Amino acid sequence: MLELKNVVKNFGGLQALSGVSVRFAMGEFVGLIGPNGSGKTTLLSCISGLYRPSEGSIQLDGREISRLGPHRIYRCGIGRTFQISKVFARLTVLQNLYIPAMTVAELDRTGMQQRAVEILRALKLDQLAEAPAERLSGGQRKLLEIGMVMMNTPRFLLLDEPFGGVHPVLKNQLEEYLKDLHLSGKSIILVSHEMSSVFRICERLVVLDRGALVTDGPPHEVRADQRVVNAYLGGKHAA
Ligand SMILES: Nc1ncnc2c1ncn2[C@@H]1O[C@H](COP(=O)(O)OP(=O)(O)O)[C@@H](O)[C@H]1O
Ligand SMILES: [Mg+2]
């Protein structure tokens, strides 16, 4: 289990997170939503070790991880993707998958190749295995980035806006992939503005507004919560 207690993150005078307490159980598929600037990316960055919380604690299975660097946290089984995907443009799609696997070397060469091929197939990128990543569309790059994280079979997958700018066909494909990962027992925290996707695939929603947790519950309850409607969804989704 991943547990955050009173996590505060200050950037100079700005408080991006003002005491967030939330728990994520193993195997859960949680949507993290909220308006722009509400602290979603900052929360993922605190969990993944990119930022050190100013206050509070983050525990994975009872072990404090909030003072560990990103590499250590990655090795604990927490993988993340970024709002702007980070792939190696000049390398092929397949080579991109090898890079993260080489940094955590428990796989031999054959094992690495097998896993890469499986992941590309699941993401329907296998036809592009030998293409340089710079030839991929924005959406395909997002898929590749998720594939790169999956090479190390993280227990927790933190995804920052994976649907942003993704073509509808790829978006459906990505939704299916995430649903399959969830069914296979993966824990997922999904940050997304795509309300229809989030409501469709997540089993629980956590809503942030101005650095604070507004509500936390099953999608149908969150959708009806007046504080969420006011803070975020507005009239369009309220119905
Ligand atoms: N590295 C940073 N330095 C200064 N301010 C930041 C930094 N990262 C985020 N912020 C600020 O923190 C707040 C929350 O940002 P962010 O976590 O990116 O929100 P979200 O992902 O929900 O849109 C915003 O006001 C943003 O400008
Ligand atoms: Mg963000």
Burial class (CB in 10 A: 0-12, 13-18, 19+), 102: exposed
Residue whose CA lies nearest to ligand 1 atom number 7: 11
Residue whose CA lies nearest to ligand 1 atom number 11: 16
Distance 39 CA to ligand 1 centre (A): 6
Q: Cβ(175)–Cβ(197) under 8 Å?
A: yes
Residue whose CA lies nearest to ligand 1 atom number 24: 37
- Hey, what are 136's tokens? 């991929």
13 lines ligand 1 (CB under 6 A): no
pTM equals 0.93
Task: State residue 232's pLDDT score.
Answer: 67
pLDDT tens sequence for the chain (239 residues): 999 999 999 999 999 999 999 999 999 999 999 999 999 999 999 999 999 999 999 999 999 999 999 999 998 999 999 888 889 999 999 999 998 887 766 778 888 899 999 999 999 999 999 999 999 998 899 999 999 999 988 999 999 999 988 889 899 999 999 999 999 999 999 999 888 899 999 999 999 999 999 999 999 999 888 877 776 655 444 43
Task: State residue 238's pLDDT score.
Answer: 41
Residue whose CA lies nearest to ligand 1 atom number 27: 37
**Residue among 81, 87, 82, 85 at smallest CA distance from 132:** 87
Task: State residue 103's pLDDT score.
Answer: 73
Looking at this protein, which amino acid is placed at residue 211?
G
> Cα–Cα distance between 227 and 232 in angstroms, integer?
8
Residue whose CA lies nearest to ligand 1 atom number 2: 11
53 lines ligand 1 (CB under 6 A): no
Which domains, ranges and CATH numbers included, belong to the chain? 2-84+154-238 (3.40.50.300)
Task: State residue 60's pLDDT score.
Answer: 97
* CA 9 to ligand 1: nearest atom: 12
Q: Which residues surround ligand 2, an ion (CB under 5 A)?
A: 41
- Hey, what are 106's tokens? 């428990």
Task: State residue 108's pLDDT score.
Answer: 82
Length of the chain: 239
Q: Cβ(72)–Cβ(192) under 8 Å?
A: no
Distance 55 CA to ligand 1 centre (A): 17
Each residue of 140-179: b (16+ CB within 10 Å) or e? bbbbbbbbbbbbbbbbbbbbbbbbbebeeebbebbbebbe
For the chain, the average pLDDT equals 91
In a mutational test of the pocket of ligand 1, which residue from 18, 41, 193 has the highest number of ligand atoms less than 8 Å from its CB?
Answer: 41
The number of C-alpha atoms within 13 Å of 31 and in the hemisphere containing its C-beta is 29
11 lines ligand 1 (CB under 6 A): yes
56 lines ligand 1 (CB under 6 A): no
3-state class (DSSP) for residue 152? coil
192 lines ligand 1 (CB under 6 A): no
